[in-house]
Structures are given as structure tokens and as C-alpha cells.
């Protein structure tokens, strides 16, 4: 795996942790989940800055945000018992399809 994809995946993981902690912080009223939000997003943005050495910002951001949406939806469903209706599931599926299309067919995405 090229190192920029590793940076990107780690950035997605950090963003996912940060957003999950955001839910747990209860609008920044709980100290430790709030601190985790700040640290996780700082790590995520640092890793994104490393990814930008190898990937165009639009492609990198589409993949980071798209994968983050998918993982947060899954965590919301599993950990916070938030349900998704059919339209939400289809929309998330389309986001995943967009990421796959970028990876398979885009000449601007680095492989």
C-alpha cells in the first residue's frame, strides 16, 4: 500500500474517532470526550497534510469525507442506536460508489 493511502486511512480513523467523541461529549459538556475531539481532529488534519504531498486536495477530501461519512453512519447505528432509513442507506451507498469510481477510473487519483 502506498504510504499516502496509509496516511489517508489513518486520517479517516482519527476523524471517525473525533466525530464519535463529539457525540459522546454531549455538546462539549464532558471534558474527556471533548479533549478527544480536539486531539483526534488535530491528528487527522496533520495526516491529511501529509497526504496532500501525493494527492490533489479535491480527490483527497472526497475520499476522506466520504469514508468518514460511511464509518460514522455505521458507528451511529452500532454504538448510538441511530437508525438509517432507505434513502440514507442508498445515499451512503452512492458515496461509496463515488469513491470506488474515483479509485478505478480517475487519472487524477494516485495509485
Max CA pair span of the chain: 45
List, for residues 51-100, the tens digit of each pLDDT value: 999 999 999 999 999 999 999 999 999 998 999 999 999 999 999 999 99
List, for residues 14-56, the tens digit of each pLDDT value: 999 999 999 999 999 999 999 999 999 999 999 999 999 999 9
pLDDT band at 111 (very low <50, low <70, confident <90, very high): low
Helices 57-79 and 86-105 pack at an angle, to 10 degrees, of 150
Residue 102 CB-density burial (10 A; 0-12 exposed, 13-18 middle, 19+ buried): middle
Are the C-beta atoms of residues 55 and 5 closer than 8 Å to each other?
A: no
What Rg, from alpha-carbon coordinates, does the chain have? 15
Number of residues written out for the chain:
111
Task: State pTM to two decimals.
Answer: 0.90
Query: What does the block give as the cell for 64?
Result: 476522506
Q: How far is the C-alpha of 36 from the C-alpha of 7, rounded, in Å?
A: 19
Amino acid at each position: 500500500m502506498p504510504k499516502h493511502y496509509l496516511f489517508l486511512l489513518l486520517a479517516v480513523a482519527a476523524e471517525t474517532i473525533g466525530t464519535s467523541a463529539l457525540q459522546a461529549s454531549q455538546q462539549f459538556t464532558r471534558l474527556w470526550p471533548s479533549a478527544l475531539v480536539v486531539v483526534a481532529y488535530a491528528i487527522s488534519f496533520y495526516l491529511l497534510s501529509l497526504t496532500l504531498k501525493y494527492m490533489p486536495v479535491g480527490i483527497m477530501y472526497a475520499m476522506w469525507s466520504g469514508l468518514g461519512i460511511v464509518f460514522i453512519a455505521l458507528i451511529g447505528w452500532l454504538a448510538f442506536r441511530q437508525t438509517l432509513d432507505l434513502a440514507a442507506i442508498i445515499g451512503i451507498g452512492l458515496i461509496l460508489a463515488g469513491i470506488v469510481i474515483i479509485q478505478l477510473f480517475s487519472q487524477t487519483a494516485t495509485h
